[in-house]
Amino acid sequence: MTSLAYVAIISTSVQGFMLGFAVFTTGLTIFMLVRDRRRRSINYGMIAASCTLLALSVGEFAIDIDRLVRGFVTVGPYQPGGTWLFFYSVTDYTFIVKACLYPVQILILDGVVIYRAYVAWQSLLAVLIPCVGWCGLLASAIGLIYSMATIPQYPEAVYLTRNPPWIYALYCATLATNFTATALLAFRIWRVNHRASEFQRSYSRLRILFRVVIESGLVYTVLNLALLIAFRTNSIAVFYLRDMLSPTIPIVFNMILIRVGFSSGRGLSVLGVEVTNAVSTVDLQWRFAPHTINDRHTVVGRKSVVLDLSGSVGGVHGSELLTSKVKDPEALHLEEESLVIAGKAVMGE
């Protein structure tokens, strides 16, 4: 049987590598969201969520490093059973704190996905099922944290009988919540995609948003499902997957925002467009308040990421839309409305 001491070294090393990428994606996300503040409103909610998820991942990595030091240097070699037995202990504070950080991460991530679905549907009834799942997730998280924090004097036998039900409930709740919320969001984007499919340009833009949502949700779902199966079968892989999941959560969260930004084909400029042309033949004031359109060439005021996305994607400007297949004002109106619905949902605005 592979020693948990060996597993801890390998899994923490992989976790550190992935955490470095999570830091990079978080920095890029923040840069995209705050760039050109004079012309764009800043989504502070998404910035706070991104930073919080990263902080929790960094905290868990610090706990893992401390656990390695305690296991190999300061505590493990001097206790009965040595280093080998230290990593099987469930009473050390590093094990307990690490087990408590993960539920907080998934509560935030699933909450953001539910919020995106709500923004897309604009109806609490539409997101009722994922909201119920999130409440079950919250109850499971509280139960697991309480169970971990009150481990008695002889913990091993009690841990094996008391904690697994909470762990199963936590994994199943986050799988169900994230899957249903992602499915609702993807279905909403698919609907507006289908409605705008006669307009070729908007159709390609909406496909990008649809693909981003599906891929991000799939990564998280597959990893959580693998973790649940590994835990149920008592596989040693559960320790590797568990340490990989912590930095994966902020990566998945950030990649949605980053890929929407880069989907413009103009790189980061999608978040800092200074001029948006020619959608002015349609009065968009009612949807972009407090943005104002003064003439047919310039948008004056503070824009959102969604407005930039609908104004220029793939290097296509509004002026090109007027000379393309879409010339009817009502058609342009429908196209822009579809883009705004999908864009706001993905960006959480």
DSSP track, 152-206: -SSHHHHHHHHHHHHHHHHHHHHHHHHHHHHHHHHHHHHHHHHHTTTSHHHHHHH
185: left (phi over 0), alpha (psi -120 to 50) or beta: alpha
Going by pLDDT thresholds of 50, 70 and 90, the confidence category of residue 113 is very high
Tens of pLDDT, residues 287-325: 333 333 344 333 344 444 444 444 433 333 343 333 344
Q: Residue 333's pLDDT band (boundaries 50, 70, 90)?
A: low
| H or E element that contains 322 | helix 318-323
Mean pLDDT over the full length of the chain: 75
pLDDT in tens, 247-294: 999 999 998 888 776 664 443 333 333 333 333 333 333 333 333 334
Q: Which residues contact 324 (CB under 8 A, 6 or more apart)?
A: 200, 201
On the question of pLDDT at 189 being above 90, the answer is no
Domains delineated in the chain: 4-264 (1.20.1070), 269-347 (no CATH)
Better pLDDT: 92 or 172: 172
Between 171 and 198, name the one with better pLDDT: 171
User: What pLDDT sits at residue 183?
Assistant: 92
Please say whether the beta carbons of 134 and 177 come within 8 A. Answer: yes
Dist CA 79 CA 256 (whole Å): 47
In 3D space, the residue among 136, 116, 135, 138 whose CA is nearest the CA of residue 126 turns out to be 116
For 190-199, 228-237, 305-314, which range has the lowest pLDDT when averaged over its residues?
305-314
Residue 234: both structure tokens together: 């008592």
pLDDT tens for 14-24 read 999 999 999 99
Residues whose CB is less than 8 angstroms from the CB of residue 322 and which lie 6 or more positions away in sequence, other chains included: 278, 281, 332
As a whole number, mean pLDDT of residues 93-118 equals 91
What pairs with residue 299 in β-bridges? 293
Which pLDDT value is given to residue 277? 37
* Model pLDDT, residue 31: 87
For the whole model, what pTM was predicted? 0.78
User: Kind and range of the H or E element at 23?
Assistant: helix 4-34
Question: Nearest Cα to 52, choosing from 255, 268, 254?
Answer: 254
| Percent of the chain residues topping a pLDDT of 90 | 35
